[in-house]
Amino acid sequence: MNQERRWTLPLNAAVWLAAGLTGAGLLGGCAAEKAPEAKTSGGWVKDQVADAYTFGFPLVVSDIARERASGSAGQPGRAPLNTFRHATALPPVGASGWPSVDTLDSTAWLDVSAEPVIVSLPAAPRGRYLDARAFDAWTNALYSSADTTPYPKMQLIAFAPAGWTGPLPANATRVETRTRYVWLSVRVRVNGPRDVREARKLQTAMRIETLSPAKGADGDTTSVVTGAWPGNLSGQQAAVPPLPSASPTASPGAQAEALDANAFFARLARSLDANPPATADTPAMNRLASLGVKPGEPVQFKKTDAPLLDSGLADARTRLATVPTNAITKNGWTWFGDGVGIYGTDYILRAYLARHQMAATTKEGEVKPVAHLDSEGHALNGANRYVMHFAPNQLPPVRGFWSLTAYTKDGALADDKLARIALSDRDRLKKNRDGSIDVIVSAESPGKAHASNWLPAPDGEFQLTMRLYAPKPQASDGTWAPPAIERQ
């Protein structure tokens, strides 16, 4: 059953899930303990709440993102499960959430509870970057074509429940998931608005099918793998409080962080019913159970525990605002390499990225250095003129491509008065006599002689985001770093 639905921009901010970099610390992995029966205060209990919140945060973010993106074909910006939503234009002026202006995105939420879901993607034409990436409901990376092939041939991917033993289409790449839901993102490079039409041709060739079209059509969602998703898959799940009204630009991570303890843990318990954690997460699940949070069961806290719960959530939110120790920081830029997408029990890194960059793939797929300050530690401001000096042969090392984008300090695209809002490897940057390249960043034009190397900046404070698609190892391990941003 081929399903495809298109939408046009602007849409709500669930589309623009992009990166702001402020991190988190490491989560302690203490052994599970049985909670004292009537304890309503104490540091260890507060820490337990903070640990439980941090562990479950990515699943709650994922649940909110799916809820916001999934729906009937008549709902703007939404699509049924197992159906593509295609962006048909680049993000508009003012779009928030650090949106990419380099790619046209196609996204889908897959439901593999009944049987495998088959995704067919066309071959990328010569020189056209295309990346298909998929994540389980815990935001762990399951698949990324850019890890090995930034310009892939036709892809046939079978997303299957863990333990599936039935036949799959010949030549299909099998990708197993222990969670019922999978988030799929396919990105096609575009070189400005005039190139969108060519990228759209690839979108029209993308397909999502269930293994048995007739079965998928009549809505049967019975699990075919015994014990794959313990609990209730019939829709009769425990109710959770509705999401509070939010700005259309609020990200799912921001919405998850705004939930109180009762709403957060109720949603977590419901999501756990269909999206079980890894075996290594057993100690974390034991801590959840001692708080009264169990898969598929109602969550009821005592009113007297409210101050303790609030304190625990406040501690956890502070973790999400602290740069993690495994971040790479050089020349005023911050980015991540090892551990991203394959988190194991590094719950704090996973939670941080779920809060700020939900679609964080592995270091082979993309790295994203971000800078807010100049070389002297002052906030970047469009009133100043900055220079980034790339030594000879020191432009970003990639197998795919790179770009540099200027955003407002809040992560929005500046107005359309700017000549451009990004520079990339396709721009004809003028070299100095020694082969080095100076990129100028400022709100005011540096003059015709420097126009080719000028990245216009928003008025007032701003930030820079550099995207390296399919980076080479020296970028993801910190051997190479973007140059310092020097104020002139």
Length of the chain, in residues: 488
Q: Kindly state whether residue 430 falls inside one of the protein's structural domains.
A: yes
Indicate the pLDDT class of residue 14, thresholds 50, 70 and 90: very low
Of 163, 189, 216, the position where a domain reaches its end is 216
Of 216, 248, 282, the position where a domain reaches its end is 216
pTM of the model: 0.84
**What is the count of structural domains for the chain?**
2
Q: Kindly state whether residue 54 falls inside one of the protein's structural domains.
A: no
Task: Read off the pLDDT of each residue in 297-315 and give the average, rounded to a whole number.
Answer: 92
Of 216, 249, 281, the position where a domain reaches its end is 216
Predicted confidence (pLDDT) at residue 217 exceeds the cutoff of 70: no
User: What's residue 192's pLDDT?
Assistant: 85
User: What's residue 96's pLDDT?
Assistant: 80
CATH number at 114 reads 2.60.40.1610
Higher pLDDT, 28 or 386: 386
Task: Read off the pLDDT of each residue in 448-459 and give the average, rounded to a whole number.
Answer: 93
User: What's residue 358's pLDDT?
Assistant: 82
CATH number at 389 reads 2.60.120.600
Q: What is the pLDDT of residues 404-428, one digit of tens each?
A: 999 998 888 887 667 788 999 999 9
User: What's residue 251's pLDDT?
Assistant: 85
Q: What is the pLDDT of residues 143-167, one digit of tens each?
A: 999 998 999 999 999 999 998 999 9
Range(s) of the domain holding residue 208: 101-216
At 288, which amino acid appears?
L
